Amino acid sequence: MEGYWLFLALLVSALLLGFLSVIFTLVWVLHYREGLAWDGRGAEFNWHPVLMITGFVFVQGIAIIVYRLPWTKKCSKYLMKLIHAGLNTFALTLAIIALVAVFDFHNTANIPNMYSLHSWIGLSAVILYSLQLVLGFVVFLLPWAPMYLRALLMPIHVYSGLFIFGTVIATVLMGITEKLIFALKAPNAYKDSPEEAVFVNTLGILVVVFGGIILWMVTRPRWKRPLDNQQKLEGNEEVVTTKDCNLEFSREARKQNLNLDDAGQRSTM
């Protein structure tokens, strides 16, 4: 693999940053906020950032680059599809639980739902992510989709996945900023940069850098998973057919030449 050590360094950095993002989120809600519970109050809301950053950022990021891992290139493509789909399903499950937590908290506290840009884009990202997962399952995981349809939808599938991931990163930044503005009041208002604000701003930087590394790794052509033999046969069916025809023609030509040579030898004996 070209640039193996660079890839490994970026992978370790991404894992470390993603793990730190989750840890920072837990410290935020357990130390600075009300903790975690499922009681309709602030502690229930705190599940929202924890599950979103864990699932929708960290797990989704790993799902995006799982095809790039060099030690999985000997694994079958179907196995990697199952792992990719499993990670994305897990991420979506955590995101849905996070939505349930925030809606339940809002309804209990009589806070309006879906009034901020964060909520609009966030819910849109979850819906698009769900559609992306269903489309990927039906077209790329199940065996009955024709190859021309897979070839047609693959660029859309790849672009939409990266678009959703970038949208999630932006939505997380809006969400944690919105939470700090609402939660921090004078004399420790957000504008005064109290300890909690600095800590959560650092969390936002970790999330951005994590997302940037994931997007860099997945967009490098040299780290793309090579096509296996089955994919080459399926994706280039016409070329393979032509080659097969040429091969058969060559075999027939060689047989005819051998027959002519044999006949010529017999005629000179």
Q: How far apart are alpha carbons 258 and 153 in whole angstroms?
A: 48
Tell me: pLDDT of 46 over 60: yes
Q: Is the pTM of this model over 0.85?
A: no
Q: What is the pLDDT of residue 264?
A: 44
Q: Residue 59: which of 107, 119, 19, 96 has the closest Cα?
A: 19
Min mean pLDDT across 73-87, 139-153, 226-240, 251-265 is at: 251-265
Tell me: pLDDT of 265 over 50: no
DSSP 65-116: HGGG-GGGTTS-HHHHHHHHHHHHHHHHHHHHHHHHHHHHHHHHTTPPSS-S
The structure tokens listed for 112 are 């309006």
Tell me: pLDDT of 239 over 50: no
**pLDDT category, 251, cuts 50, 70, 90?**
very low
Higher-pLDDT residue of 82, 186: 82
Count of CA atoms in the C-beta half-sphere (13 A) of 26: 7
The identity of residue 189, as a single letter, is A
Q: What is the pLDDT of residue 228?
A: 59
The helix/strand/coil state of 6 is helix
Q: What is the pLDDT of residue 1?
A: 67
Average predicted confidence (pLDDT) for the chain: 87
* Structure confidence by residue, pLDDT tens digits, 99-155: 999 999 999 999 999 999 999 999 999 999 999 999 999 999 988 889 999 999 999
